[in-house]
Amino acid sequence: MATEPGAGSGSRRPSLKDVAARAGVSRASASRVLGGYGYSSQDVADRVMAAVRELGYEPDRVARTMRSGKSGVIGFVCADISDAFFSSAMRGICDVALREGAQVIVMNTDDKPGQERDATRVLLSHKVDGVIITPVSVREHAHIAAITGAGVPVVSLDRQLSDIGIDSVVADNEAATEEAIRRLIGLGHRRIAFLGSVQREEPPVLRVGKVRANVVGPSRPSLDRARGYLRALTAAGLPVERELIALVPHDAPDGRLEAVAAVLAAEPRPSALFTADSYMTRSAFSLLSERGIAIPGEMSLIGFDDLEWTTLVRPRISVVVQPAYDMGRAAADQLFAQIARPDAPGADARAGAGARAGAGAGRGHRTVVPTRFIERDSAGAAP
Amino acid sequence: MATEPGAGSGSRRPSLKDVAARAGVSRASASRVLGGYGYSSQDVADRVMAAVRELGYEPDRVARTMRSGKSGVIGFVCADISDAFFSSAMRGICDVALREGAQVIVMNTDDKPGQERDATRVLLSHKVDGVIITPVSVREHAHIAAITGAGVPVVSLDRQLSDIGIDSVVADNEAATEEAIRRLIGLGHRRIAFLGSVQREEPPVLRVGKVRANVVGPSRPSLDRARGYLRALTAAGLPVERELIALVPHDAPDGRLEAVAAVLAAEPRPSALFTADSYMTRSAFSLLSERGIAIPGEMSLIGFDDLEWTTLVRPRISVVVQPAYDMGRAAADQLFAQIARPDAPGADARAGAGARAGAGAGRGHRTVVPTRFIERDSAGAAP
DNA sequence: CCCCATTCTGAGATCGATCTCACATTGGAG
DNA sequence: CTCCAATGTGAGATCGATCTCAGAATGGGG
């Protein structure tokens, strides 16, 4: 029923003014009826509702944003939306946003600081109600501080920016990796290689003795996973061998196969590989099958991230699963929680904040999402 | 350099009024300097630019939208952004949007008509400059007509809505499938099965004799691929056997394995499988390897969509590649082309449109993106 | 019968950028 | 010296929803 818009009159979207005119009341009265505040007589209410139906009126969100300062839009800033992790997380974010009646603007950074800065600026000028971001850098976060500085809630996803008091949602990368390595050790492996990607800015990890000291502070998945690896080794009293650790820059994809080859060339050759992200898992599996190295007969393999192919290849790959969708949901939940209570953690009260110890959700609430280990066929007993 | 916003004053984002005040000129003058129109003296221009720098002023896009009616935002409505095809397409759309200085709002429909209708309404009320959509239904397109009716450009992606004069970007599904089937026939296969997904609303395909007559009209990838299959068979003079064709509803994922099993149970068993989408390819490969059926020794396989696992499994799967990223780009290019020239193909001049035959880009320009066949190891000679 | 509280209504301001229009200044040509 | 074009500037309107505030009805108690 009702009248589809665009049928009769002069094409323009009907505004509240049109509704008011048709109902024979003032804009204020129409607004009161629709907004459900103040007083309005039954008669006026009926006429307004009728006019709304007849005209197919729908409020203009832009004007509403203008007036209220709230847009009902949030931003998601990630490296690359076509990446499986981010697109799954995005879906989680969208689902929560839908529940909250909000929309999502996506921006890709390709892990370039400049793009990220631009993205935050644009989002701010769109008056977004909040931002979920996977920060390019844990060091340069001036742009991110600028967002909270503008009173806009921020949640960081996958990477952590704890030192500037920003909520974050991360997987328990360190514990998950530690557990995976412990399993390999339990299977009798003594020489276990670690293959991961790393951002250029990250310092070379290592320095075994001080591992525990480094646990606190800015966090990136790759570093945390490396820490878990080191922890497991040292806990088992195994030596950490430099030649069994390869961290290739994330933006040099062809370095990955070389890294795997280099690790395989170590003497004596390791008996197990842990690949700390999906790209590495793929490269490792690829090279191993190309060289005809039997899994898990000659080489065990455990990877991070549960991609669909890990169940299609033979042997099926044992992996640590990171619930990307749930992480997206969690981040969005946290963001909307912040939006709901505008007591602004870290906003303008920043200058003299030092003293307050924060009752419950102090500064920078950190949600750690549990991972799950899926045992399949790629990790076996050491020869 | 410059002053980071939020440092000194009372927290609010600086507006043009603040800039004007600081420069000691009127808002109109400041706007003229920034907008580069009208006259302004060098002195005023300098003072305004200085004020902009000092205040870290950035125009409010919401206010600009309000005034101009153009938001610099486009909408992307798809079934599920976590799907590899859509997230790749999304990336293409984002890249073009970035070039055009626009942003993208994403909405998921899960292929539910209601969600799609809501999504279009929300986007319209956000005053988006255009919409890229993968329509749920080729039959109910009232909402989509409502978008163009509001003067907002629309491009449909992957699925085609030619009858209401909307631009579309699709892969050459029919030709690509026909070629793939022809290859199988060339390898000596006579019994070739077709496995695809289908929307509930789609009529059962078939009716071999009338295939050519059905080519024109609303198009969905699965139907087009089925048509290509039929074409190839009939062109080669091969019979179309009902039991070798399985179309399972897209929303009944567990039906896929059953469908594969059913086709394998046909007597005599087919010697080749063509899987028309990535889900089917996965199910088929999965079942074949589970049953220990040798590929391509006992069964050849060609699939649609180039997922990363198709090169990791043995044998590597030969596939028809659909350039999702490029399709996203193409759709966005087309959308921005429409936005640039507001001569509105199919807008309000719809009532008496019949006569106009359209010079160049008439009504509903259809871009067909070529696919590519990647020959790998899963299709061999028939036994 | 008066007065005040309650209910109801509309004029107008607001958000921020942009644009029109009217009104200054100039300067140079006639 | 006059006049008009070219140049420069600011007041105010506009986009649409919302909210404040002043004021108009109405009704019941004193």
Higher-pLDDT residue of A312 and B7 is A312
- Whether A215 sits with its Cβ under 7 A from any strand D atom: the answer reads no
Contacting residues for A99 by C-beta, under 8 A, at least 6 apart: none
Q: Helix, strand, or coil here: A38?
A: coil
B288-316 tens-digit pLDDT: 999 999 999 999 999 999 899 999 999 99
Residue B94 is predicted with a pLDDT of: 98
Peptide bond just before A383 cis, omega within 30 deg = no
Q: Is the CB of B40 under 7 A from strand D?
A: yes
Of chain B, the end-to-end C-alpha distance in Å amounts to 74
Query: Which is more confidently placed, B205 or A69?
Result: A69
pLDDT profile of chain A (383 residues), mean per 10: 39 91 95 93 95 96 97 97 97 98 97 95 98 89 92 94 86 96 98 88 46 44 92 96 89 87 95 95 96 97 94 96 97 97 51 32 79 97 92
> Which of A330-339, B94-103, B126-135, B239-248 is predicted least confidently?
B239-248
**pLDDT number for residue B216:** 35
Among A169, A136, A73, CA closest to B106: A73
Half-sphere exposure at residue B249, Cβ-oriented, CA atoms within 13 angstroms: 6
Query: Residues 42-101, chain A: which have Cβ under 7 A from strand D?
Result: 57, 59-60, 63-64, 66-68
The pLDDT of residue B319 is: 97
Cβ–Cβ below 8 Å for B127 and A65: no
Mean pLDDT, range B98-118, rounded to an integer: 96
Nucleotides of chain C in contact with protein CB (under 7 A) are 7-21
Q: Strand C: which residues 44-73 of B lie within 7 A (CB)?
A: 57, 59-60, 63-64, 66-68
pLDDT of residue A165: 85
Higher pLDDT, B136 or B105: B105
Residue B208's pLDDT is what?
40
| Spatial contact of B197 and B249, defined as CB atoms under 8 Å apart | yes
Residue ranges of domains in chain A, CATH in brackets: 16-59 (no CATH), 70-170+324-349+356-369 (3.40.50.2300), 171-322 (3.40.50.2300)
Minimum CA–CA partner of A101 in chain B? B122
In whole angstroms, what separates CA A199 from the centre of its chain? Answer: 17
Closest CB to B309: pick one of A71, A104, A309: A309
Closest CA to B134 of B96, B79, B196, B216: B79
Strand order, beta sheet including A300-304: A245-249, A192-198, A272-275, A300-304, A318-321, A372-374
Residue-level pLDDT at A161: 80
Return the nearest residue to C7, CA–C1': A39
Question: For the segment B40-90, what is each residue's pLDDT rounded down to a tens digit?
Answer: 999 999 999 999 999 999 999 999 999 999 999 999 999 999 999 999 999
- The whole-model pTM stands at 0.90
Q: What is the pLDDT of residue A354?
A: 32
Residue B87 with chain A: CB contacts under 8 Å: 81-84, 86-87, 90
CB A167 within 8 A of CB A156: yes
Q: Which residue of B has its CA nearest to A307?
A: B309
Does the beta-carbon distance from A5 to B149 stay under 8 Å?
A: yes
Q: Is A289 exposed, middle or buried (0-12, 13-18, 19+ CB in 10 A)?
A: middle
So what's the pLDDT on residue B358?
32
Residue of B nearest to A80 (CA): B91
pLDDT confidence of residue B4: 39
Could you give the CA distance from residue B51 to residue B205 in angstroms, rounded to a whole number? 67
pLDDT at B163: 73
d(CA B177, CA B313): 23
Of A64-68, B165-169, B345-349, least confident by mean pLDDT is B345-349
Does residue B253 register a pLDDT over 90? Answer: no
Q: Is A374 in a helix, a strand, or coil?
A: strand
Which pLDDT value is given to residue A200? 66
Task: Look at residue B200 in the predicted model and tell me its pLDDT.
Answer: 65
CA–CA separation, B330 and B313 (whole Å): 31
Cα separations in angstroms, A100 against A149, A333, B83, B295: 24, 10, 23, 49
Q: What percent of chain B has pLDDT over 90?
A: 75
> Using the CB atom, is residue B36 less than 7 Å from strand D?
no
Contact at CB, B81 and A65, closer than 8 angstroms: no
What's the pLDDT score for residue B139? 77
Q: How high is the pLDDT of residue B352?
A: 32
Question: Which of the residues A76, A93, A106 would you substitute to probe the B interface, choosing the one with the greatest number of B C-beta atoms within 10 Å?
Answer: A106
Please report the pLDDT score of residue A102 as a whole number: 98
- Could you tell me the distance in Å between the CA of residue B27 and the C1' of nucleotide C19? 11
Of A66-70, A75-79, B95-99, B218-222, which gets the smallest average pLDDT?
A: B218-222
Contact assignment for A61 to B107 by CB distance below 8 Å: no
Residues B170-191 pLDDT 10s: 999 999 999 999 999 999 999 9
Contact A307 B307 (CB under 8 A): no
Give the residue from B288, B330, B331, B285 showing the smallest Cα distance to B305.
Answer: B285
